[in-house]
Chain A
Amino acid sequence: MQRLAAETVTLGYDQRVIARDLSVEIPDNSFTVIVGPNACGKSTLLRALSRMLKPSQGRVLLDGAAIHSMPAKKVARTLGLLPQSSIAPDGITVADLVARGRYPHQALLRQWSPEDERIVEESMASTGIGELADRYVDELSGGQRQRVWIAMALAQQTPLLLLDEPTTFLDIQYQIDVLDLCADLHETQGRTLVAVLHDLNHAARYATHLIAMREGEIYAEGPPAEVVTAELVERVFGLRCQVIDDPETGTPLVVPAARRARHTVPVGPAE
C-alpha cells in the first residue's frame, strides 16, 4: 500500500460527474506526472488527492486513513500542494511569503520557532531564491515568483508534494527551470512529487511514473518509456505522431505528424 491513493472515487462539481470509480495509487518516492487532454479530469484528480475536492463516492487515503476525516493541519504537515493560482498579498516580501509555509506547524502561541526560521532559510536556499529574501514578490519575474511559491510549499516540509500545472504561464526557460527544480527535490530530498503537466514531452522527460488520463479514466500508467507510444498519443490526445528518442535524454519524444499526413484531427495537440 502506497502512502497516497484514491479508492474507487467518483469526482465532480455540483451535478456534473467528471470521473467515476477511479482508483489510483501514487508510488512512494516517485515523481509522478499526470497527463491528458483538457477536461480529462487530471486537475480534478489532483484536487481530490490534495483534499480540496471531496469525492461524492469512494475515498482518498493518506497513510491508510481517509484524508477527508483527518484534521486539516495534520494533512498539511504530510501533504503539500502548489495550487494553479495563488495570490501574493500586496507588499509582501519573499521571506515573509515563504515563512507562511510553516503555518501548519505553528500555533497561536508557537508562531516562530528557531526550527521555522532554519527551514525557511533552507527552503529559500534550495530553490535558489536566498538572495531575493527581502525583495517584494510583486517585483519578481514569473519564473522567480513560481520559485517563491515552490519554496513556500517546501517550507511546509511535507514528504508528499502535489503540483497543479506548475509550468503554465511561464516562458520556456522558466518551465525547464521549475521542472529541474522539481527533479532536484525528488532526487536529493527523496520527496514524492505528483504534478499535472500539459506538455507531454516535459512529462516524458521528467516523470519516473506517468499516468495518462482520458475522459475521467486512467488510460495507461507506468514508466514514460513504456507508456508514451505513438498509439497512446493517438488514443489519448487524438494526435497522430511519431515517438522518437529524445537526443538529449533518451526519453520518449513526441513529434506530431505533419499537417498533410494528419487530415482530420478530432482534438488539438497537447498544449
Chain B
Amino acid sequence: MSTTKPPGERPGRTDARTVTRATTRAVRTPGGLSLRLDVRSGLVVLLLLAALCAMSVILIGRGDFPMAPGDVIATLLGNGTAAQEFIVQDLRLPRILVGLLVGAALGVGGAVFQSISRNPLGSPDVIGFGQGATVGALTVIVVFQGGSAAVAGGAVVGGLLTGAGIYLLAWKRGVHGYRLVLVGIGVAAMLTAVNHYLITKASLVDATRAVLWMTGSLDGRDWAQVWPLLAVCAVLIPLALGHGRPLRMLEMGDDAAYALGVRVERTRLVLMGAAVLLVSVATAAAGPITFVALSAPQLARRLTRSPGPNLGPAAAMGALLLLVADWAATSAFGDRQLPAGVVTGVLGGCYLLWLLVTERKAGRI
C-alpha cells in the first residue's frame, strides 16, 4: 500500500489542483485563530453585494420624480434637498429595504431547507410554509377584517403553525429529505384549498384585499414593515450563518454528522425554527413571494461552485432576485405595473422547469 505522496501527477490534473488550491484560503492570526475561506464564494458575495447597491440606487432613483444616481447617493448620505430627503427616506428607501430583507430572509430560509432535505425541491414555498402563512393572513382578512399589522401577525402565526405541523408529520427518528418534501407538498395542497375556501366565503371587499395580498408585492411598504423585519433578520440571519458549519456536516447524513460531534437534532431544530420564522416574517411583510426561496440557493450554488448550503451567497442572491423582480415588475411593462410576486412566479416557473429537466437528465428523478 502506498503511504507516500505520488512523485508526479498525471497531466490534466495539474490545473484542477491549482484551481482547488487557489479557491480555499486559510486566514490565520498570530493568536491561533483561523478562518477557512472559499475565495470564489467570497468573490460571488462581493459581486452580489455590489449589484445590490447598484440596483438599490437605480430603484430609488426611479418613479414619478426621477433622481440621478449621484443625487440618490448624496441624499442617502444626508446631503440632499428637503424634497429629495422626503422622497428617498420616507417613500422609496423603506420599499427597497423591505425588498432586500425579504429576499435575504427567503434566500437563507430556502438554503436551510434545501440543505436539510438534501433536495432542491425541499424549499419553503414548495413544502407549504408560504401557503400556511397565507392561510393565517387570509383568516385575519376574511374572518376578523383585521388591519395590516394583524394580517402580518396572522401570516407569521400561520407560517409557524405550518412549520410545526410539517415537522411533527415528517418527524420519525429525525427529519428525512423525501419525507419532508412529500409531506410538505401534501400539506401545501391542502392549505391552498383552505385559501380558496376562505376567498369564496369572503365579502367582495375582503376578497379583493385578500387576492391583492396573495400576489406578493413591495408596493406601499413603509418603515412600519421595515423595523420588525429588520429586527428578526438581524437576529436570525447571523444565527443561521453561525450554524452553517454543522449544517454542512449534516449533509453527509445523520450518522456521519454524529460521528463528527455535531448535535444533530438540536442543530436541525434551531435551523428549521430560524428558517420557518424568517420565511413567515418575510411573507408577513411582502405577501407570498414565490420561487425566491426555491431558486436563490441553487443559483448561488452554481455561481460559487462550492458544496454545502452556501447560506451567505443564498441570502445575497435572494435579495438581488427580489429587487430585479421588483424592477422588472414596475418598469418592463410600461404603465401597467405588476406586483413583484407575479414576476418571481414567472421567472421561478421557468427555473423550476429547467431544474426538472436537468434533474431528469441527470437521472435523479
Give residues in A with beta carbon < 8 Å to B. Answer: 13, 50-52, 71-77, 80-93, 95-96, 100-101, 103-104, 106, 108-114, 117, 121, 125-126, 128, 130-131, 133-135, 153, 156, 180-181, 184
Contact = CB atoms under 8 A, between A and B. Distances in A.
B263 A89 contact: no
B5 A130 contact: yes
B242 interface: yes
B260 A128 contact: no
A77 B261 contact: yes
B273 interface: no
Interface in B229-257: 242, 245, 248-249, 251-253, 255-256
B260 A87 contact: no
Contacts of B354: none
A110 to B, nearest CB: 6
A152 to B, nearest CB: 8
A71 B259 CA distance: 12
A96 B307 contact: yes
B261 A103 contact: yes
A90 B305 CA distance: 10
B260 A104 contact: yes
B32 A110 contact: yes
B34 A113 contact: yes
Interface string B1-39: 111111001000100110111001010100011111000
Contacts of A87: 118, 251-253, 256
Given A50-B259, A103-B245, A134-B20, A125 B118 contact: no
B121 to A, nearest CB: 15
B32 A113 contact: yes
A84 B255 contact: yes
Nearest to A51: B258
A117 B307 CA distance: 19
Given A100-B252, A110-B32, A111-B36, A91 B305 contact: yes
Interface magnitude class on chain B: 35 or more
Contacts of A51: 258
Given A81-B259, A86-B256, A112-B28, 7 more contacts: A52-B255, A74-B261, A75-B261, A87-B118, A130-B4, A130-B6, A134-B19
Nearest to B16: A134
Contact of B26 (A84, A85, A112, A131): A112
A181 B1 CA distance: 8
B262 interface: yes
B33 A125 contact: no
Given A89-B307, A125-B5, A128-B3, A109 B256 contact: no
A263 B287 CA distance: 72
A129 to B, nearest CB: 9
A133 B16 CA distance: 10
Nearest to A71: B261
B26 A88 contact: no
Most chain B CB inside 10 Å of its own CB: which residue of A13, A89, A104 = A89
Contacts of A128: 1-3
Contacts of A181: 1
A221 B252 CA distance: 34
B178 to A, nearest CB: 13
11 contacts: A75-B261, A80-B259, A81-B258, A83-B253, A83-B256, A104-B260, A104-B261, A108-B245, A112-B26, A112-B35, A184-B1
Give me the 10 closest cross-chain CB pairs, A-B, nearest first. Answer: A76-B261, A83-B255, A81-B259, A73-B261, A112-B36, A104-B261, A89-B307, A86-B256, A131-B6, A92-B307
B308 interface: yes
A110 B24 CA distance: 15
Given A110-B33, A112-B36, A134-B20, A85 B251 contact: no
Contacts of B251: 87, 89
A125 to B, nearest CB: 6
Contacts of B28: 112-114
Contacts of A101: 260
A112 B27 CA distance: 8
Interface string B285-317: 000000000000000000001111000000000
B303 to A, nearest CB: 13
Contacts of B261: 71-77, 103-104
B252 A89 contact: yes
B186 to A, nearest CB: 24
B281 to A, nearest CB: 25
A89 B308 contact: yes
Given A128-B3, A130-B5, A93 B20 contact: yes
A126 B16 CA distance: 22
